[in-house]
Amino acid sequence: LGLLVDNATVVVENMYRHLRKKNDNRKKSEVIIDAVSEVSGGLVMSTITTVLAFIPMAFVTGMMGPYMGPIPFFVPVAIIASLFVALTISPFIGNLFLKVSSESKGLIGRIQQRVKNFVILVETKYVNFIKMVFADSFKQKTLLLTVGILLLVSLSLPAFGLVKFRMLPKADRNQFYVYIDLMSGANIKKTNEVTEEVEKMILKNKNVVSTQATVGIPPIVDFNGMFKGSDARRESYQATVKVNLIDKKKRKETSEDIANTTREVLKQIATKNDANIKIIEDPPGPPVLSTYQLKVQGEKRNNYPELKKIAYDLFKATEKVKGVVDIDVSRKEHSVEKTYRVNEEEANRLGISVADIMMALNASSNGQIVALYHDKLNDNQRFAEQHYIVMRMSNDNRDKLSDFSKINVKSPNGKMISLISLLREDNSIPLDDTIRMDSRKPTIYVDGEMQNRSVVYASIDMLKYLVKDYRLPDGKGKLDHWNLYGVRYIDADGHRYTVLIGGEWKLTLEVFRDMGIAFAVAIFMIYFVLVAQFKSLRIPLYIMATIPLALIGVLPGFLILYILKGTYFNATSMIGVIALAGIVVNNAIIYLEYVFQLKERGFGIEEALIKAGQTRLLPIALTSLTTILGSLTIISDPVWEGLAWAIITGLSLSAFLTLVVLPVIYRKFEAGNWKTS
């Protein structure tokens, strides 16, 4: 919003300044044409550089690409349209309505006079300061050295962990989910009992409107659920609870705060029932399988037992990582106590087949149709509705091992044989040991969610542990390779095992990599456009030198924001930094364009630099202010506030530094090349 009025602001301010200083017989329209011509070249170039700053964002890959896709299209189109309006419609309207009249009286007149006095005071202070710096080479060096030190200190803040990074902040939603997983094999009755207990505990929170539970069947799958695999939650030991909150406008706590509170109150239920209870929040950006994720992979399926050991080692290590909660392993623990097989020798002796035994077991647990009956036929019916009569044992008589003795099988001679006498106990083994494959490799996942900490730092902690301390379960493994995405080990037998750090960490690396490339491409494109415009390799460098000045405001600004309100530097903040590259350059272009015009009029270098600074001080201040005020409109949005704060903090300081540092740099390196027309 602020960028849209920047071009018109510069044009209208310059028209007003020319009309106010007009002391000849030129027509009003001629004065306006001269005023627009004076700034049109700089505005066209500044618009081009701003457009070039946004276009590379279109090449951000992965899931984040569609989220950012509209920005590199709509922003350039809107800015180009605003340039057209500023150079055509604004002068037309100005010619009709813009007047330089005598000062108003009363309250409005006093306000106008105070604003005018303030602007004159600022311009005078600025001119005096620049003259003082130009007069002393030591002060020039001191100024540049101070700015250089401030830049280095600002750049060091992330390295020392003072500016915190994350992909995106958590959004304030009106719902979240609770995933309940009992031990594999638990019956649906037990799962339902635990679910009801969870619901009662959740409903005690005053911010909760209602809950919706699904037990043994998957919930209605939303976009986030597709990535979380909620459609596969169909086992008897699994339940999903959707927690509906009152509207975010009517509550003080965020959904993240409520979810964290819920997680704490459900710990006792989870411990008591040997259950894994996880809180799942809707992400503000692209969803992932889990926020924190380790992917443990081997080369062959026969390495799976070793993968289990590695996965459980990393499960224990993850428990020590600060901020990681709801930790889980994709390979479930099974609740099988004993396994029985049919004693075929005894069954054959008694003349009982395996099929007879299985029918008896199935009838007792799942039921068996024993009869069929029909409803009475009504006058309106042609056929009576029929119903099956199913007989099976009650739950209380089929949920313990001892209940086998209550089931009998009839032998050919009519004798009832206890089922337990036809079975023999086998070694206790899991019912199922499913091998998951990812990229054609056997894989086990260690998953977790984050609470009160960015996954960036949890993943860094785990990466340090994997590189420095961990060497496979036997401690004899060798670290073969590592990078920011994970590590690879080799055991004593030459088998390779890979641990990849996925989840939001991988997404963050990819997004910041792509946006860093976009930033570099934008700077590269802006530089060569400026070279073509100014027909010089040096002058564009002076203009580009103003870009780092924005970081002196951005990084310390986010340090203060983190201390005050816990705001992270995130992906939208990076968009703001890329946008700043174009905006800051705009101020420098408008300034230097006027310097070159003064040069053609015969001004000396110091006189031209001072005059240009004094003249362009107000339009640069106004355009910076409108951009800052426009950014304030999105500052309340938890996702896009990063972009707003990046522009606000960066532009607030860089606009001032541009008018101070750029003249000093230009004078220092171009004084010997200055030739007036």
Q: What is the spatial distance between Cα 67 and Cα 183, in angstroms, rounded to a whole number?
A: 39
- What's the CA gap between 54 and 74, in Å, rounded? 10
User: Among 148-157, 388-397, 459-468, which stretch is predicted with the lowest mean pLDDT?
Assistant: 388-397
**pLDDT score at 389:** 82
Region for residue 414 given its phi and psi (left: phi exceeds 0; alpha: psi -120 to 50; beta: otherwise): left
C-beta neighbour count of 139 within 10 angstroms:
14
Q: What is the phi-psi region of residue 452: left when phi exceeds 0, alpha when psi lies from -120 to 50, beta otherwise?
A: left
Residue 334 forms part of a structural domain: no
Cβ neighbour number for residue 390 with a 10 Å cutoff? 12
Helices (H) and strands (E) in the chain, counts: 21, 17
Residue 461 domain-assigned? no
- Residue 75: pLDDT above 80? yes
CA distance 423 to 403: 13
Comparison of pLDDT for 306 and 375, the residue scoring more = 306
Q: Can you tell me which residue has the tokens 């809180």? A: 279
The confidence band for 63, taking pLDDT boundaries of 50, 70 and 90, is low
pLDDT tens string 188-240: 889 999 999 999 999 999 999 999 999 988 888 887 777 777 888 888 889 99
Query: How far is 621 from 652, CA to CA, in rounded Å?
Result: 9
467, exposed or middle or buried, with CB in 10 Å at 0-12, 13-18, 19+? exposed
435 lies in a domain? Answer: no
Q: Decide which of 116 and 320 is more confident.
A: 320
pLDDT score of 39 more than 90: no
pLDDT of the residue at 337: 56
**For range 435-439, the mean pLDDT:** 76
* Listed residues 426, 454, 485: the one ending a domain: 426
Where is average pLDDT lowest: 149-158, 357-366, 373-382, 586-595? 373-382
- Is 446 domain-assigned? no
Give the DSSP letter of residue 472.
-
**pLDDT tens column, 523-578:** 888 898 889 888 888 899 998 888 888 899 999 999 999 999 888 898 888 888 88
Q: pLDDT above 70 covers what percent of the chain?
A: 94
Residue 470 in any domain: the answer is: no
Q: pTM here?
A: 0.74
Confidence band, pLDDT 50/70/90 cuts, at residue 4: confident
Over the stretch 590-627, which tens digit does the pLDDT of each residue have? Answer: 889 889 889 888 899 999 999 999 998 988 888 888 88
pLDDT-derived band at 401, boundaries 50, 70, 90: low
pLDDT digits (tens, 9 = 90+) for 307-344: 889 999 999 999 999 999 988 888 655 545 567 788 88
pLDDT for residue 130 is more than 60: yes
Q: How many CB atoms lie within 10 A of CB 263?
A: 18
Determine the pLDDT at residue 512. 87
Q: Which two tokens stand for residue 459?
A: 């993943």
Highest mean pLDDT among 249-263, 369-383, 398-412: 249-263
pLDDT at 351: 86
The residue among 406, 426, 446 that closes a domain is: 426
Does residue 630 sit in the same domain as residue 577? yes
Write out the residue range of the structural domain in which residue 230 sits: 172-282
Q: How many of the other CB atoms lie within 10 Å of CB of 164?
A: 20
| Domain end point (choices 426, 454, 482) | 426
pLDDT of residue 411: 84
Q: 349 and 408: one domain?
A: yes
Please tell me whether residues 147 and 244 are part of one structural domain: no
| Residues paired with residue 280 on neighbouring β-strands, in sequence order | 177
Rounded-to-integer distance, Cα 253 and Cα 107, Å: 44
567 plus 610 within the same structural domain: yes
500, part of any domain: no
Is it the case that residue 430 has pLDDT exceeding 60?
A: no
For residue 338, what pLDDT is reported? 66
CATH of the domain at 403: 3.30.2090.10
Quick one: CA torsion of 649, 655, 657, 658, rounded to 10 degrees? 140
Residue with tokens 């627009």: 36
- Helix (H) or strand (E) segment spanning residue 284: none
Alpha carbon distance 430, 434 (integer Å)? 10
The answer to whether 626 and 636 are in contact (CB under 8 A) is no
Nearest to 658 by CA among 543, 565, 564, 560: 543
The tally of CA atoms less than 13 A away on the side-chain side of residue 320 is: 7
pLDDT > 60? residue 32:
yes
Is the same domain home to 258 and 359?
no
Q: Is the pLDDT of residue 485 over 80?
A: yes
What are the E-state strand segments in 282-375? 292-298, 324-329, 339-342, 368-374
pLDDT of 101: 66
For residue 607, what are the contacts with CB-CB under 8 A and spacing of at least 6? 598
Residues 197 and 220 in one domain: yes
Q: Do residues 169 and 639 touch, judged by C-beta distance below 8 A? A: yes
CATH number of the structural domain spanning residue 234: 3.30.70.1430
The structure tokens listed for 480 are 């073969």
Q: Are residues 619 and 525 in the same domain?
A: yes
| Burial per residue of 399-409, b for 16 or more beta-carbon CB atoms within 10 angstroms, e otherwise | eeeebbeebeb
The Cα 70–Cα 665 span in angstroms is: 38
Considering the domain architecture, whether residues 148 and 226 belong to the same structural domain is answered as: no
Residue 650 contacts residue 554 (beta carbons within 8 Å): yes
Task: Give the CATH number for residue 541.
Answer: 1.20.1640.10
Which tens digit of pLDDT belongs to each residue from 286-302? Answer: 777 788 999 999 888 77
Question: What is d(CA 368, CA 563) in angstroms, rounded to the nearest whole number?
Answer: 67
CA-based torsion, 260, 265, 266, 268: positive or negative: positive
Instruction: Considering only CA atoms, give the Rg of the chain.
Output: 36
pLDDT at 48 over 80: yes
Assess if residue 45 is contained within a domain: yes
- Beta strands, E only, 265-410: 276-281, 292-298, 324-329, 339-342, 368-374, 386-391, 408-410
Q: Residue 397 above 80 pLDDT?
A: no
Q: What percent of the chain has pLDDT over 90?
A: 29
What mean pLDDT, rounded, does the chain reach?
85
507 touches 286 (CB < 8 A): yes
Query: What residues form DSSP beta bridges with 399?
Result: none
Whether the predicted pLDDT of 171 surpasses 80: no
Please say whether the beta carbons of 158 and 555 come within 8 A: yes
154, pLDDT greater than 90: yes
The DSSP call for residue 476 is -
Note whether 213 and 145 are same-domain residues. no
Whether 159 and 190 share a structural domain: no
Say whether pLDDT at 677 is over 70.
Answer: no
What is the total count of domains within the chain? 3
Is residue 309 a part of any domain in this protein?
no
413 with 526, same domain? Answer: no
Do 420 and 549 belong to one domain? no
Which neighbouring-strand residues pair with 296? 444, 499
